[in-house]
Amino acid sequence: MLKALDRLTRRDLMKASAAFAAAAATPSALLAQAASTAQGVGALPARGEFIIRGATILTMDPTLGDIAGGDIHVRDGAIIAIGRGVVAPGAAVIDAANMIALPGLIDTHWHMWGSVARNMAAEDPKNGYFLFARAVGDVFTPEDNARGVRLSLAEAIHGGITTVHNWSHNLPKPEFADAELAAHKAYGGRALFGYGYAGVGMVDQPVNLADLERVQKQWIATSEGLTTLGICSRGPESNNADICKREWAAARKLGIRISTHMGTSAARVKQREGVKALAADGLLGPDVILVHDTNTSIDDIDLVAKSRTFISMSPFTEMRTGFGIPPILQMLEKGVSVSLSIDTIVLAGNADMFAIMKGMQNVGDGSKPSEFALPPRKVLEMATIEGARALGIDDRVGSLKPGKRADIILVRADDLNMGPANDPVRMIVQSAQPANVDTTIIDGRILKRGGALVNVDTRKLIADAAETMGRVRAGVEKVLREGGVTVVR
């Protein structure tokens, strides 16, 4: 679809996308395009064929390693070849000299629906994050949820995050899930959709298990492999054991991922013994992601490691909310697979996985204390291949090698905050920022090029988010004023 040229520009890409859209302009395609435009995104670009030339490639594959001056050949969403001097006659060329190519970054826990409320959590206990999130959820509509997801997805693409775990825990009705899943489909990113419970802070709140099969058939089976399904449970620190067992059984029957918050409060760990409760009931395992688990014991870490259960950590929000210092070194020393999380930009402020990597390295080194306790390459693994393993998609993404899907980002190495060029791994972990991401490719589609999002109307996204918060603010203040919320961490 795309023609060979010396450098693939944003204008060229838009022309190719327009041609593809015209070719597919059936009535149903036109309706889908109109719906996506209303969501602040145009038609998805064609996948086509292209070659990335002359990049410093961090494959994150132990066999291929790092490749200086390397090429990546992509066709129809798949990586065809990778190495130096790759021959790809007729393929469009992306000149990646002075750029670092690496797998797209992977988030493993993000409450995306709340992103319209960026920075709204205040310092007063009466309107801190947990009370605020519960109150906001009470007055949101499905469209409000979707606006948060759209804003999140656009920011993810901008920042080189190609896969997200949408940990959706404000789903009072199935329509809320449908609205969020429609956003995922329109924006073309890769995602694990974690079907959660009806609202933040509710005790003994089960997931709507009866709706899982419908979602699997209606949304997941038609997503071209981009979206997978999981559940997000209140877990044993908030729900009774019978609810947990029913949720785990339903998820395992469908073969989908299970995730729960864990160990956010030392008092609740002592009271409910979450990890031990899961282990006793046979609910740990390689299909489970525990989020946070900052207040944990060595015995608990042993149980997590032996069961091959995954851990997702969000250092900035964990420290911001007083959950504690992420016990990253203890986890790694026991062989636990740790991945990284945005959590919520209501608290984190933005979706900057580069900052999270840097923060995690600093937490690791500072807790030793040693300058050499947590190498930057290990942190980069957490943001790429370990994230893919946690989400069960490491056969498709998380590293760059022939046969995997083309989730690739190009980071400019000669920007003011990056140069002069040095070790590329340290540059990514210690210096890079979302603004340095020149190109974001997801499943072979180029969604950011030359530092700009290709088909997203960011002004509309911000305007929609502002309209939501302006409209619901009075309702939130009323709920908070009347004290009609009960919150459990």
pLDDT of residue 419: 96
Q: Output the six-digit token pair for 75.
A: 């066709």
Phi/psi for 260 (5° steps) reads: -150, 150
pLDDT, residue 339, reads 98
pLDDT of 135? 81
Give dist(CA 469, CA 465) in Å, integer: 6
Handedness of CA 453, 348, 343, 381 (dihedral sign): positive
Helix (H), strand (E) at residue 276: helix 274-280
Please report the domains of the chain, with CATH numbers, ordered by start residue: 10-103+398-451 (2.30.40.10), 105-391 (3.20.20.140)
The model's pTM: 0.90
What pLDDT, on the 0 to 100 scale, is given for residue 34?
Answer: 42
Looking only at the bridges linking them, the beta strands covering 78-83 and 49-58 are unpaired
Pairing of strands 288-292, 257-262: parallel
pLDDT at 269: 62
**Pick from 400, 378, 278: nearest CA to 328:** 378
Asked if residue 94 lies in contact with residue 410, where contact means CB atoms within 8 angstroms, the answer is yes
pLDDT at position 300 is 94
Q: Helix or strand or coil: residue 246? A: helix
DSSP 271-321: HH-HHHHHHHTT--STTEEEEE--S--HHHHHHHHHHT-EEEE-HHHHHHT
Tokens representing 486 are 């009960």
Which helix H or strand E contains 231, and what residues bound it?
Answer: strand 227-233
Residues 6+ apart with CB under 8 A from 327: 293, 294, 296, 301, 367
- What is the C-alpha to C-alpha distance for residues 398 and 18, in angstroms, rounded to an integer? 30
The torsion defined by the Cα of 366, 372, 373 and 379, in degrees rounded to 10, comes to 100
Q: Which helix (H) or strand (E) holds 232?
A: strand 227-233
Residues 6+ apart with CB under 8 A from 31: none
The DSSP output letter for 456 is B
Residue 464: exposure state from Cβ atoms within 10 A (0-12, 13-18, ≥19): buried
The Cα–Cα gap between 226 and 219 comes to: 10
Q: Per-residue confidence of the chain (489 residues) as pLDDT tens digits?
A: 333 333 344 444 443 333 333 333 333 343 344 445 568 999 999 999 999 999 999 999 999 999 999 999 999 999 999 999 999 999 999 999 999 999 999 999 999 999 999 988 877 777 778 777 878 888 899 999 999 999 999 999 999 999 999 999 999 999 999 999 999 999 999 999 999 999 886 778 899 999 999 999 999 999 999 999 999 999 998 889 999 999 999 999 999 999 999 988 766 666 667 899 999 999 999 999 999 999 889 999 999 999 999 999 999 999 998 899 999 999 999 999 999 999 999 999 999 999 999 999 999 999 999 999 999 999 999 999 999 999 999 999 999 999 999 999 999 999 999 999 999 999 999 999 999 999 999 999 999 999 999 999 999 999 999 999 998 887 777 766 666 554 443
Kindly state the greatest CA–CA separation across the chain: 68
